[in-house]
Chains A and B, each alone.
Chain A
């Protein structure tokens, strides 16, 4: 199993550009999520999905869109990039056991710089 994969690993954008960060998992996990990591902050949840066709907002959703058309894929779209979106982005997946989510499996991260 490849686990959770993310592309690209690095990206530089200009203010106002749009792009999609890709995330895929091959573990058949129901739950997928996107976090951003900024210096001095914990991991902050952007959006999450509990299954194909279902998405919801996390703590910091503004400026981002997601979709979940398949169990495997959960892309994150930046609509109009801003310097405040410079960050490291992590995708993660998990699965339910007895009504509780198990540990999250994280992808390798995407380092995004917006100029």
Chain B
């Protein structure tokens, strides 16, 4: 079982503030790192799939970076809005056809 850790487990952010959280994964046999956004009562939706060390991806106010050598990825939310409240999941792909998910970062944006 691959160890994918996300921290912090939950965080409360004031509207307008920026925040970030971490996904740690094994640094060997890296194929890809996925980020998903999961709103309550909905299904997870993909944000990014990152494959190269040093990758930076951006979608609106959300961005992610990737360090495959040390085994971590950061997700950033700039100027948090109430609609950013969700659980953010990362998932590690080591090429064996199985994604290993972390437990998620639960974000609550306070208006």
Contacts and interface: CB of A to CB of B under 8 A. Distances in A.
Contacts of A90: 43-44
Interface stretch (B11-19, B61-69, B75-83, B96-104): B96-104
Nearest to B1: A59
Interface string A47-60: 01010000010110
A43 B46 contact: no
A102 B43 contact: no
B101 A103 contact: no
Contacts of B51: 100
Interface string A76-94: 0000000000000010000
Interface residues of B, number: 24
Interface in A56-115: 56, 58-59, 90, 100-109
Q: How large is the interface on A (under 10, 10 to 19, 20 to 34, 35 or more residues)?
A: 20 to 34
Contact of B43 (A44, A101, A108): A108
Contact of A42 (B43, B45, B93, B102): B102
Interface in B82-99: 89, 91, 93, 97-99
B24 to A, nearest CB: 13
Given A40-B103, A41-B103, A43-B89, A102 B98 contact: no
Given A59-B1, A100-B51, A101-B32, A48 B97 contact: yes
A42 B103 contact: yes
A102 B104 contact: no
Contacts of A43: 44, 89, 91, 101
Nearest to B2: A59
Given A59-B1, A101-B32, A107-B43, A42 B101 contact: yes
Interface of B: 1, 4, 31-32, 34, 36, 42-46, 49, 51, 89, 91, 93, 97-104
